[in-house]
Amino acid sequence: MEAGDEIVETQGKIVPGARALQLRPIMSKQVGEVLHLRLRRTSGETYNALLTGIKKPSA
């Protein structure tokens, strides 16, 4: 991922135009769960990325 990349889809749900409250439960993952993203570069190229949930660091 690079600065300027736009998330266009997560878990099969279109992101542009969606409400944050609709996306929050979809994007919130437990430790070890995988989040599937489709992103678009400023050049227009799209690609897929997988992110794995990790334990939040202690304060």
Residue 37 in domain: yes
| Residue 48 pLDDT | 97
Residue 1 in domain: no
Residue 58 in domain: no
Asked whether 23 and 15 are in contact (CB, 8 A), the reply is yes
Residue 31 in domain: yes
How many structural domains does the chain have? 1
Nearest by Cα to 53 from 36, 10, 2:
36
Range of the domain at 40: 6-52
| Residue 57 pLDDT | 85
Strands, E, within 1-59: which ranges?
6-10, 13-14, 34-40, 46-52
- Predicted TM-score (pTM) of the model is 0.79
**What is the three-class DSSP state of 29?**
coil
Q: What is the average pLDDT across 28-54? A: 95
| pLDDT more than 70, % of the chain | 100
Q: Convert the pLDDT of each residue in 5-22 to its tens digit.
A: 999 999 989 999 889 898
Q: pLDDT grade, residue 43 (50/70/90)?
A: very high
Residue 44 in domain: yes
